Structure formats: C-alpha cells, structure tokens
A and B are shown apart, each in its own frame.
Chain A
Amino acid sequence: MTEQAAAAVKQHEPWLRIVNRPVISRRKAWAIRAAAFIAAILCGALLILLLGHSPFAVYSEMIKGAVGSKISLVSTIKIAIPLLIAALSVALSFKMQFWNIGAEGQILAGGIAASYFALYWAGAMPALILFLLMCAAAAAAGALWGAIPALCKAKWNTNETLFTLMLNYVALGLIKYLQAGPWQKPGGHPQIAMFDDAARLPKIFDVHIGWIIAIVLVAVVSVFLSRSKHGFETAVVGQSPNTARYAGMHVGRVLVRTMIFAGALAGIVGFIQVSGADYTLTENTAGGVGFTAITVAWLAQLHPLAMMAVAVFIAVLEKGAGRIQTTYGIPASASDVLIGIILFFMLGCEFFIHYRLILRKGGKARG
C-alpha cells in the first residue's frame, strides 16, 4: 500500500519542473554565467571538430585575429564603438520597457543628417564647427526618429515594436532615394560620393575619436540612469506606469523625452560611422549594429559599464570569426554559427539565473 502510494507520488510529479528563483546571490549568478561560457566554448569546439579542424588552434587564431596585432586590435575596436553607443541607446528605452527595435533606423537617420553637412558644407567652415554641426544634426535626426513612435504611443497607445521596426525601412528607403537621386555621385552608379578629408573624423592612437565619444557617453548614460531625476522617472515608468502616474509623473512626457535621448545616441552612431569608419553613406551604414546592440544591452543587463565589456567581447568574436574564415577556410556561415552558439549560451544562461530546474528524484536543484 505504501509503496503503491509512493509510486503514485512519483507518477504525479513531472520528471522535470521549472521553479522561479526568488533571489540569487551575485556569486552564484556569475558562477552560472561562467559555466555557460565554458559550455559554449565546448559546444563550439565540437562544431570545429566536425569541420575537421583543431578547436585549440581555431580558438587561438580567433583571439590572435581579434587582438593579436595592432591592426587587428584597431579594427576590433572600430567594430565595438558603434555597438557600444547603440547599446546605450537601446538600454535607455528598455529601461523604460519601451521595446524599441528601431536603433538601426535611428542610426541611418543620424547618418543621413551628418552626411548632408559632410557633403555640402565641408571646407566651408572650421573642422571643429563642422564636426559639431554634423554631430548635432545626427543627434537631432536620430531623436526625431526615436520621438515619433514615442509620441504616438503616448497619444494613441500604438505598438512601439512594430512602429520602430517600420521606421527602419523608412530610413533605409530614404538612403536609397538619396543614392539614386539628389545625392548621386557623378558617374552613373547609384552611390553617394566619398567625404572630403575635412569631414573625416581625426584619429587618436590610430582609432577615430569615436572611442572617446563612446567612453564619455557611457559615463553620461550611467549617471543619467542611476543619479538623475529623469533617469529615475524612466525606471519608474518602465516598472509600473500606474505607479508613475500615482507619483505625479507625466508618463507620456517621460516616454517622449527618454526616446529623444535614446534616438539622439543612435543618431550619433550614424555620425561616427559615416564620418569615422565608412567616409560615406550607404545602405550598410548601420549594418545590423542596431540589432546586435540589443544583444549587447541584454547581455550587460542594461548596465552601461558592463556594456563596454560586452561590446568589446562581441567585436572580438566578429573579428575573430572573420580571421578564421581566411586562415582555415571555414565558411562565413559556419563562423556565424559559432558566434550564434556562444551568444545562445550566454543569453540562455539568464534563464537559469531566474529559474531553477527540479528533477523528480530527490528534488535536487540544478543550474
């Protein structure tokens, strides 16, 4: 009878249960992340083995390719700069639980505005003024791109995810129009001319000064989120719009204001890309940075300082993946899979930080 009952208990309990973790210590959380990283590396090694290479050699080649020489280090940092600033931008909107996936479009809008001054005003004024003007115009254009969906959400409660996504295509279409129309380079191809030297960002330590701008912006966003009244309001609106209203905050105003700030940051990315990296405006100016930035922001748990590390980490992955393509002839698709595996583990481990699994026997916790 008792054995039967015990069997019944077992029958009822599913073999695996997912249970919410109310609190987790910082150390344990980091241990989980470290474990996930190791698991990702091992899983990636399996893929490399399947491709017929030595995982050890490929991994070390990746690291060498990303940070091994000065040239590779410089190009890795050039990948990290736009990622970092764009991540700061989306982090602001995510802090407000405004699901903005329009950083891509905001970057392009900023790039367009900066390009206007680079193409038509270069040489007509001192370099410093030109750069300030380009930066301000880019920020304003990005802010406009960010503010439109926020305004509509505040006024008519529109869906910000769809809205910001659609605006990406509007910005892209605008660039294509400019390429084939008013801004077309003489010579027949639908292209925009390369910028004059006067409109190219100067370099410090062989990297365009975008890296200094990025570090300054990390500090600004960090202080904004943790110490400013606006940052506090942004967080309260994100957590509970009802509480915000109760506390006397103007929810719509906070939405628009924060999105203006977020859009401006993304616009600055556009300016840095056209003026510091590409020296022209193309439909690849954003090149997916606005989407990868979402990964960066979440991996860093929306902490600006952590975003610096994560942006560099992802840049290393991308650069390293490029290197192994040339050295080992690993196809681009396979190296993308490798990056995908690593990111999957890193993002997936957050699940184990918030939940734990209970196996039926013994009820032991895992993860």
Chain B
Amino acid sequence: MSAQNEIAIQMKEVSKIFYGKTIANDKISLDIRRGEILALLGENGSGKTTLVNMLSGIYFPDHGEIFVNGKKASIRSPRDAFALGIGMVHQHFKLIDVLTAAENIILGLPGGVTIDRKTLYGQIRDIAAKYGFDLSPEKKIYNMSVSEKQTVEIVKVLYRGADILILDEPTAVLTPQETTKLFAVLRRMKEDNKTVVIITHKLNEVMEVSDRVHILRKGRYVGTVDTKQTSVQELTEKMVGRAISLSIDRPEVADKKLKIDAHGLTCVNEEGVTTLEGVDVQLYGGEILGVAGIAGSGQKELCEAIAGLQPLTAGSIVFHGQDAQGNPKAEDIAGRPPMDRIKRGIAMSFVPEDRLGMGLVAAMDMTDNVMLRSYYRNKGPFVDRQAPRKLAQDLVERLEIVTPGVNVPVRLLSGGNVQKVLLGREIASRPQVLIVAYPVRGLDINSSYTVYSLLNEEKKKGVAVLFVGEDLDVLLQISDRIMVLCGGKLSGVVDAKTASKEQIGLMMTHVGGENAAKEDNGND
C-alpha cells in the first residue's frame, strides 16, 4: 500500500486508427498506478479493448508513447509485454482443451525437453495458495468449468511473473458467487502490490472492487474518478455522456393466458451429448419469463426447441391458441417444422443469439432481410419487395436505426442497429410468442433500453415473452418469473420480484439451488 502513488504505466496521447478512418482511440493520456485496482469503464465500442491491446502487444499504437515503470516502452508483441511484466487475460480464453492446466500454463515458455512436473505443480500450487485460487494443476481443460478456465488464464499470467494484470470483461461468464471469489483474489493481488486493470461495463462491479475508474467514451478519455467519491449515476452519465434513467419497467398485466405448455423437453446433439434434459416451461401471454444460467446450460437448445428449429428426442410443446372461429384450441407442435406452424396460424417470433448467422443474412440488405419472414405469403412464383421495403423504412424511422439506407447490406450496420432490424422484423410479424436470446449483448445503454421497452410493449399487448439473458440485474428487473437452467436441466423457477441474485446464482451451479448446494458441500 505504501507505493500506492507510484505510476506503473503512463500513456501519452496514444491513438489507434483502423482502416485509416475509424478512430478507436483518440489521443488517450492516462496513468495506471502500482498496487491499485483500476477499472476501465466504457460502453461497447468505446475503445477499452483496443487500448489494453496496445499494452499487451496485440496492437501497436499509431501515435503516442507508452511508459512502463517510468521508462519508455515499445511493446511489439505479447512477449514484449511479458518482459515488461504486463499480462492479459482475454475475454475469450486461449487454452488448449486436451492439455492439463499446468501444461497450458507453461505452454510457449522456454524450457528443456522434459517437464519436471513435481516442481511445476508445486510452483502452481504456491501461486494458487498465495492468492486464494482453487486450481488442480493436473486437471484437463475440457473437464473444467468456465470459472476454472479463467483461473488457469490468470495463473498463467502470474506464473510468467506479471505484476500488471489486465482482465478483459472477466465477470461476463461468471455466476455472482464466482464473481465474489474472483474479486477476493484481485484484492489479494493488490495487497501483494500488483496492479490490476479490469475492463467492464458493469457499474455495480466497478463500485465494488475498484479504487479508481478511468472512463472512455467513443474512443476518447473522458476522465478519472475515485470510486469512493462517485456513484453509479455519475459513472453512467460520464460513460454515456448525458443523464439517463437506469430503472427498467415491469408493467403489470392482469390477464395472463397460458400460451405454451411444454413438458419434458429433451435434446441430444450430434455428438450424442444430452444438451437439454426434461425441461418444463409454461409461457403466459402478458408475461416476461426470464431464463438464467451459465453460458451453454441449454439456453440455445431451449429457444430453438420451442421455435421448432431443434429436433426433440422427447417432450411435448402444447400451443394454446384459437381456431378460425375464435374458440380456444390446443395442439402439440413439438417436432413440427416452422413452415408447418405458420400454416397452422401459430405466430411465433425468435430473435436468436447469433444475429447475423441465423436471424439475418449479413450480405443482404434490410429489405431482403425483412422479406425473409414474409416472402412466402406472396401469391405466385415471384417475390414482392414493395411491402418489405416499406416496412424496412418504417423500422428505420420508428426504431431510429442508423443506416445509409434500406439497400445497404446489414453486415455494415453496427451491432445495436443490427439488433433493431432483427427485433423490429420479428415484432412486426405480430407474434403471440416472442423468444429473445441475449437481446442486448453488445448494445450500448441507450439501445439496450430501447430493447427493454420494446419487449415491455409486446408484453402489454398480451404476447408471451421468453427472455434469455446474462445480466442477472436486468433479468431481475424486467422479468415476472425467472427459470434457471443448470447443465441442461431446469434448476427451478423463481418469482423475479422476490428472488435474490445469490439465490439464482446458487441455482445456476446446482440443480435445485440452496439445499442441493448444501448437500453437495456436505458430501465433499
């Protein structure tokens, strides 16, 4: 703590320009102090990752200078960065699945032909013990959970002697409990006089763990605040550039009608692995049902099964609708392909996680992408582009989509605008059931709130909404109920008005939640 004010890294007017015109970082000058936890805060596309990539040797600045420990540094590769004691843990892990933790840790380091595993394991255990990690060096990566893999990445960096650690969105893949653990580790590193830089856009975490916050906006450095003297509201304003309301509505809809009653949904993938196991879901009109779970717990399969894109090995999906005379009618639509459902008048919309790879055709323009959902309705062998073009223009106006025109390929649009095209099209088809997977991933705050209010509008119209999310804070605010998935099984359903983050976190890692977790610990 004594060296709190010693400067570890200083950046002077550092710029990075892509394609000769996109300015990712514009003359950024800032410092990083030794022995602090520094948060680098900014929206998606504000240049956080680009900035740290210049510290870790992935990019080289176009202009400006970087000083490490007071000396001018030219960081040309990750190797240079390590030589200066800078280590980075990337958002997407760079580990080899079939190797053990220890093997991954020493991968790429100079050494002899043989590995002295005993010494190596000892060294790794020492590091783990020092900072409070849970890590077994002989475990293979493919047997590890996401949080364990992250631990390997961090230990890898420490093993190489880094004293400046940069973590890119480290909590994005963690449960609340794992996040708490990680933060404890980070605090111990700080006590050990290491410098920790975390990149994030989650304000609560910034408030919880950091000492200072550097804020970036649209590639520019906006300012620095001491965490103790700031508030979530102030951070948001600095990050977005103006005051913004941070609460998400949860309108009450009185008349809730059962739309989908699914039982025992089970999916087996091509490798024979069961990805979804006996999941029951009830979707009510006028309700948003949140889906929580660690990434890859069966969310994708659940959405696609209900949407009719994923073959089921077992289970039923009963759709409660109306027949031509307006009388209630229930039919099992499990296994029926999308076209068949459309013919039966079942209006279901799906905003998939992979927007450009599944929801839209990246190389086609907005008109054609809008037409994707309606072209077959036209009589005769030809398509009619007039109505879709009009709808596309409508969407541009209503959702404030930023595009040079409806004839521009959607791949050239920014992430937020792509999502608006997709969501706008799906809502325009007047669905009775709307499935959305990670609808705000990669979106800035403003676009995110547009999406939330669009979903709430649908809910008020009596649409049943299934919302798969990753941010528990958001899920707790917008959903009426939350179903939690764990390893392809339904861990439980909770009332979002009364549930806590911790409770859901436990359910994400143990089927059944708290009680099951206790039993688990008892057996250890």
Contacts and interface: CB of A to CB of B under 8 A. Distances in A.
A232 interface: yes
Contacts of B309: 245-246
B383 A227 contact: yes
B439 interface: no
B363 interface: yes
B242 to A, nearest CB: 29
Interface string B291-329: 000000000000000010100000000000000000000
Interface stretch (B128-136, B156-164, B245-253, B352-360): B352-360
Contacts of B371: 232
Contact of A9 (B74, B307, B359, B372): B74
Contacts of A228: 381-383
Given A229-B376, A248-B342, A365-B20, A243 B360 contact: yes
Interface size class of A (residues with CB under 8 A): 20 to 34
A12 B359 CA distance: 40
B339 interface: yes
Interface string A338-359: 0000000000000000000010
A8 B363 contact: no
Contact of B372 (A13, A242, A243): A243
**B contacts with A: majority SS:** loop
A358 to B, nearest CB: 8
Interface string A15-35: 000011011000000000000
Contacts of B342: 248
A124 interface: no
Contacts of A227: 382-383
B72 A229 contact: no
Interface string B377-389: 0100111000000
A248 B337 CA distance: 7
B20 A235 contact: no
Contacts of A239: 361-364
B59 to A, nearest CB: 10
A242 B356 CA distance: 10
A247 B76 contact: no
B361 A22 contact: no
A232 B368 contact: yes
Contacts of B60: 9, 12-13
B27 to A, nearest CB: 16
B338 interface: yes
Contacts, number: 79
Nearest to A246: B358
A229 B357 contact: no
A363 interface: yes
B362 A247 contact: no
Chain B interface extent, by class: 35 or more
A237 to B, nearest CB: 10
Contacts of A301: none
Contacts of B375: 229, 232
B284 interface: no
Interface in A190-249: 227-230, 232, 235-236, 239-240, 242-243, 245-249
Contacts of B359: 243, 246
B65 interface: yes
Interface string A127-157: 0000000000000000000000000000000
Interface in B368-421: 368, 371-373, 375-376, 378, 381-383, 412
B82 interface: no
A5 interface: yes
B221 interface: no
A311 B372 CA distance: 33
Nearest to B376: A229
A162 to B, nearest CB: 22
Contacts of B76: 8, 11-12
A19 B21 CA distance: 12
B350 interface: yes
Contacts of B362: 239-240
Contact of B350 (A1, A22, A246, A249): A246
A252 to B, nearest CB: 12
Contacts of A11: 76
B383 A242 contact: no
B353 to A, nearest CB: 11
A358 B20 CA distance: 10
B20 A229 contact: no
Contacts of B360: 243
Nearest to A231: B383
Contact of B19 (A19, A229, A242): A19
A243 B20 contact: no
B9 to A, nearest CB: 16
Q: Give the 7 A-B CB pairs with smallest separation, nearest first.
A: A248-B338, A8-B74, A248-B339, A12-B76, A242-B358, A239-B361, A247-B372
Interface of A: 1, 5, 8-9, 11-13, 19-20, 22-23, 227-230, 232, 235-236, 239-240, 242-243, 245-250, 358, 363, 365
Given A228-B383, A248-B376, 19 more contacts: A5-B72, A5-B74, A11-B76, A19-B19, A19-B20, A22-B19, A229-B378, A229-B381, A229-B382, A229-B383, A236-B361, A236-B364, A236-B372, A243-B357, A246-B350, A246-B352, A246-B358, A247-B372, A358-B20
6 contacts: A5-B72, A5-B74, A236-B364, A247-B372, A248-B338, A363-B20
